[in-house]
Chain A
Amino acid sequence: MAGSSASETFPMPTLIPLGDSSFLVRFGTTLTDDANRAAIAFASALARAPVPGVLEVMPNLVSVLLRYDPCAATPDTILGEVRLRLSGLASDKRKPHGWTIPVVFDGPDLEETAAALGMTGGAFIAAHNASPLRVLATGFAPGFVYCGLHPQVLVLPRRMAVRPAVPAGSVLFAAGQTAIAATEMPTGWHVIGHTDFNNFEPTKQRPTRLTAGDTIQFEAVR
């Protein structure tokens, strides 16, 4: 996995208007480790040095959304400030918060997933938990996190059929990633297990615990 050396360079982003009140700063059109790290680093830079007129910053898998008030700041001003922060963009210096998340690997798709990768269930679980993953992005649904990226030997497409509802805590696997559903939702991902780790408490002012860039060590429990 790419280190965060001082000489790290990030892909050049494109700046795209998303409607009339947001810009997207997009570091790639496919999910790569570099583009994801750049998005997280840039969101972190914006948190350290906010841009006047920008109301909300959301990092995504390969981009950062900046929601702004068009009556308070012009696009030129905002994009100028954005380019300033991009030119000095360094890898995220925050020490990532490390989490250990216990998973019961009892999902309905576990054996099929392992078989599709040419492994036994036990070997798949061992390979899945072999090294820590990074939280690549949040935001798809309340408390939902994408984690990755797995090595190529663990890359599997989504299922053909969508399950109309999987329960909160479901641990999902597809496209080189592991995701945790914090609320009940439909999904086309393989359900490989479940966790008691709760990443959505709506009564709190900050309702989720995991942040993009955090590291997660999954741990098999019974």
Chain B
Amino acid sequence: MSAILTVMRAGPLSSIQDEGRFGMLLHGISASGPMDRAAFALAGQLSGGGSGGIEFTTAGLDIRLASGTCQVGFAGGDFVVRHNGMVQDWPGTVLLETGDTLAVTPGSWGNYGYLRFDADIVAKPMMGSIATSSRAGLGGIEGRALRVGDVIELSGGGGTGTVPVLPEQAEGAIRVIWGLHADSFPQELRQRFLDGTFTISPRLDRMGVRLDDVDGVFADAKVLSLVSDAIVPGDIQILGDGSPIVLMRDHQPTGGYPRIATVVTVDLDRFAQLRPGTSVAFTPITLDHAHQLLRSRQR
């Protein structure tokens, strides 16, 4: 099976992703991979499971199949997808034939959506992965976001199967585990962090999501200079000016700002999909509870 598609329109944060480039932290490279891993997996199931996929944002995406045929699956957030102008169910799947167009525009919620195909995306693997790292400038097409005129080749049988990840159905507060430097924040400040309201700021990308600290919880926090230490996705760090920022898939591998908490794995997809302006609250759970949630999701 093979096909060639052309990017007719792409937002500045669209990129080629796969599950991620794991194992490269000591070389200074975080794993990247989909911002919403469950949605990426679902698009793969719908399409037939070719490797790799296109991640797009509320800026939308238009593609045209220049040659061949392919089954395309789409999922993630809420988007409107048109196949040759006809609106399709979202999430869903459709067969693209030569000359067909697929146009995606934002729907009512979510920041990220995915297109995946029944054949593999052809890109040069870097350290075993084609995931685009916006931080390291690796993977995908020349390590950069997609843009108009990009040509993406699809080849191979696909169908290698993707591990289904059940999307987390939870709503409400984002669950966290207290972070590496939680003890260096006064108890009173930790409580205000839980009581406070934050909103997702417009300053978000694949590296991190900056929060607006509506109640000024961290406005007067004394931020100590710390020895640089390992960062994981979901870490909530407090910058020198008191801004909280949640580090995401293209996070820096190490950093020296204090981290009060870490978003649990099962809630990170949901957090990534929160649009600017959305209120968000955080609630702590135990490590054991976080693991129970992970195990129940895999069943």
Other than the given A17-B177, A70-B290, 9 more pairs (CB < 8 A) read A18-B232, A18-B262, A19-B235, A24-B230, A58-B25, A62-B229, A139-B26, A207-B29, A212-B26
Chain B nearest Cβ from A117, distance in angstroms: 20
Q: With A and B bound together, what is the CA distance between A16 and B183 in angstroms? A: 11
22 interchain pairs (CB within 8 A)? A17-B177, A19-B262, A20-B287, A20-B291, A24-B229, A29-B226, A56-B22, A58-B253, A60-B229, A67-B232, A70-B291, A74-B291, A139-B27, A139-B28, A139-B254, A140-B28, A141-B253, A182-B28, A202-B126, A202-B127, A207-B127, A208-B28
Chain B nearest Cβ from A44, distance in angstroms: 12
Contacts A202-B138, A205-B128, A207-B24 known; A58 to B227 CB distance under 8 Å?
no
Q: With A and B bound together, what is the CA distance between A186 and B228 in angstroms? A: 16
A59 touches B228 (CB 8 A): no
- A 20-71 contacts with B by CB, 8 A: 20-22, 24, 26, 28-31, 55-63, 65, 67, 70-71
Chain B nearest Cβ from A20, distance in angstroms: 4
Binding site for A on B (CB under 8 A): 22-29, 126-128, 136-138, 177, 179-180, 226-230, 232-235, 252-254, 262-265, 287, 290-291, 294-295, 298
Contacts A17-B177, A21-B265, A143-B28 known; A62 to B138 CB distance under 8 Å?
no
Size bracket of the A interface? 35 or more
With beta carbons under 8 angstroms apart, the residue of A19, A20, A31, A59 that contacts B26 is: A59
What A residues does B287 contact at CB under 8 A? Answer: 17, 20, 75
What A residues does B179 contact at CB under 8 A? Answer: 18
Chain B nearest Cβ from A95, distance in angstroms: 20
Q: With A and B bound together, what is the CA distance between A59 and B25 in angstroms? A: 9
Chain B nearest Cβ from A136, distance in angstroms: 10
B294 touches A58 (CB 8 A): no
Closest 7 CB pairs of A and B: A20-B290, A19-B262, A65-B230, A142-B28, A58-B25, A19-B232, A70-B291
A113 part of interface (Cβ distance < 8 Å): no
What A residues does B290 contact at CB under 8 A? Answer: 20, 70
B27 touches A142 (CB 8 A): yes
Kindly name the residue among B138, B177, B227 whose own CB sees the greatest number of chain A CB atoms within 10 A.
B227
Chain B nearest Cβ from A217, distance in angstroms: 23
A144 part of interface (Cβ distance < 8 Å): yes
Q: With A and B bound together, what is the CA distance between A205 and B126 in angstroms? A: 7
Kindly name the residue among A141, A144, A205 whose own CB sees the greatest number of chain B CB atoms within 10 A.
A141
User: Which A residue sits closest to B297, measured CB to CB?
Assistant: A71
Secondary structure class of chain A's binding surface, majority of residues: loop
Q: With A and B bound together, what is the CA distance between A138 and B265 in angstroms? A: 26
B291 touches A144 (CB 8 A): no
A5 part of interface (Cβ distance < 8 Å): no
Contacts A19-B235, A208-B27 known; A139 to B253 CB distance under 8 Å?
yes
Interface string of A142-184 (1 = CB under 8 A from B): 1110100000000000000000000000000000000000110
A16 touches B22 (CB 8 A): no
Contacts A22-B232, A24-B230 known; A140 to B253 CB distance under 8 Å?
yes
With beta carbons under 8 angstroms apart, the residue of A16, A18, A144 that contacts B28 is: A144
Q: With A and B bound together, what is the CA distance between A163 and B93 in angstroms? A: 48
Interface string of A176-196 (1 = CB under 8 A from B): 000000110000000000000
Q: With A and B bound together, what is the CA distance between A59 and B254 in angstroms? A: 11
B230 touches A60 (CB 8 A): yes
B227 touches A143 (CB 8 A): no
Chain B nearest Cβ from A25, distance in angstroms: 10
What B residues does A7 contact at CB under 8 A? Answer: none
Chain A nearest Cβ from B222, distance in angstroms: 16
B229 touches A141 (CB 8 A): no
Q: With A and B bound together, what is the CA distance between A187 and B25 in angstroms? A: 20
- A 88-127 contacts with B by CB, 8 A: none
B25 touches A63 (CB 8 A): no
Kindly name the residue among A20, A63, A208 whose own CB sees the greatest number of chain B CB atoms within 10 A.
A20
What B residues does A205 contact at CB under 8 A? Answer: 127-128
